[in-house]
Amino acid sequence: MKFQKILSIGVLGTAMIAGGANAEVRDIRIGVDVPYEPMEYRTPDGELTGFDIELGNALCAEIGIQCEWVVQGWDGIIPGLQARKYDAIMSSMTINEQRREQVLFSDPYITPPSAWFAPMDAEIGTPSDETLEGLTIGVQRGTLQDNYVTDMYGDVAEVNRYATADDMVLDMDSGRLDAVFLDFPIGKSTLLESEAGEYKVVGEKITEPVEYFGEGFGIAFRQRDQELAAAFNEALATLKENGTYDEIYAEYFGD
């Protein structure tokens, strides 16, 4: 305890000295836990890629700094930031209050979308109480998608809850389900890609309301690195404006 206190004072002191010397934002290292497709994973030849990696690199380029990626297991990813093994975390980290006490978050850069999937020949309009009435909808038990569908459409539609996404896809194939509500990337790989031509996305991708889908993913910094966070927020706003963000988004979350 005492040792920790001494250490933290020491770290604080060093940081104050360093902060004084560097008004400009310096080159940084970013911690990431792989794999978590499609956000961060390795290509067959071992290169890091994914939505986080590409967006992170684009942000660094926009700020005009060099960024180096450091792979770190999820358990130690916040301690690693505090211990200065890297200066930021960009690893599909959901913004929440507990984490806010530990780290400083950037603005949310993405809320992972969920989407409705239905057989190609199904005639379901934009999902609503009327269009889903009497249909059988599949969800994975206990997921945020389950909570959302149960609360929004539990009264008008029949909700079938599955232990795994595989069981659900099987029942979708057999015709027992009229639609499923899934994490978009999972649905994309299991329904749109591996059974090409059989299924389609119905309606818009869904990322709201916050009480179900969360505040989204943020880049985490140490509490005192406010300038760094501000620089990333600014760059993020620019990329969203000039279309770079949409390009990267479409690459990983496009239909």
Partner 1 sequence: MEALMNWLEAQLADNSIFTLQTLGYYGEGLVTTVQLVFLSLIIGLVLAVPLAIGRGSRHAWLRLPIFFYCYVFRGTPLLVQLYLIYYGVVFVEGIQDTWLWLILEKPFVPALIAFTLNTAAYTTEIFRGAIKSTPRGEIEAARAYGMSWGLMMRRIVLPSAFRRALPAYGNEVIFMLHASAIASVVTIMDLTGAARFVYARFYAPFDAFLFVAAIYLCLTFAIIYFFRHLEKRLLAHLKPASG
Nearer to partner 1, 15 or 144 (CB): 144
Tokens (6 digits) for 69 = 């990626």
Q: Using CB under 8 A, which of 49, 147, 189, 233 touches partner 1?
A: 147
> Are residues 83 and 77 in contact, defined by beta-carbon separation less than 8 angstroms?
no
Q: CB of residue 154 vs partner 1: minimum separation in angstroms?
A: 9
Q: Rounded to whole angstroms, how far apart are CA atoms 207 and 17?
A: 42
Output the smallest distance, CB 9 to partner 1, in A. Answer: 38
Smallest separation (angstroms) from partner 1 to the CB of 147: 7
| Binding test (CB under 8 A) with partner 1, winner from 9, 27, 83, 176 | 176
Query: Least distance from C-beta 77 to partner 1, angstroms?
Result: 22
Taking contact as CB under 8 A, which single stretch among the options 19-27, 80-88, 92-100, 146-154 is the one that binds partner 1?
A: 146-154
Where b means 16+ CB within 10 Å and e means fewer, 188-207 reads bebbbeeeeeebbbbeeebb
174 binds partner 1 (CB under 8 A): yes
Q: Where are the beta strands (DSSP E) in the chain?
A: 28-32, 41-42, 48-49, 67-71, 88-89, 104-105, 114-119, 136-140, 158-162, 179-183, 199-206, 220-221
Give the nearer residue to partner 1 in terms of CB position, either 182 or 231.
182
Closest distance of CB 235 from partner 1, Å: 37
- Choices 2-10, 82-90, 157-165, 183-191; region in contact with partner 1 by CB under 8 A: 157-165
CB neighbours of 41 closer than 8 A, spacing ≥ 6?
A: 34, 35, 48, 49, 50
214: nearest Cα among 98, 134, 101: 98
Give the nearer residue to partner 1 in terms of CB position, either 63 or 132.
Answer: 132
**Tokens representing residue 122 in the block:** 């199904």
Q: Does 64 bind partner 1 (CB under 8 A)?
A: no
Contacting partner 1 (CB under 8 A), which of 175, 197, 243, 254? 175
Residue 141 interacts with partner 1 (CB under 8 A): yes or no: yes
Give the span between the Cα atoms of 156 and 123, in whole angstroms: 17
Q: How many Å apart are CA 203 and CA 13, to the nearest integer? A: 54
- Binding residues for partner 1, rule: CB under 8 A, are 141-142, 146-147, 150, 160-163, 167, 170-171, 173-176
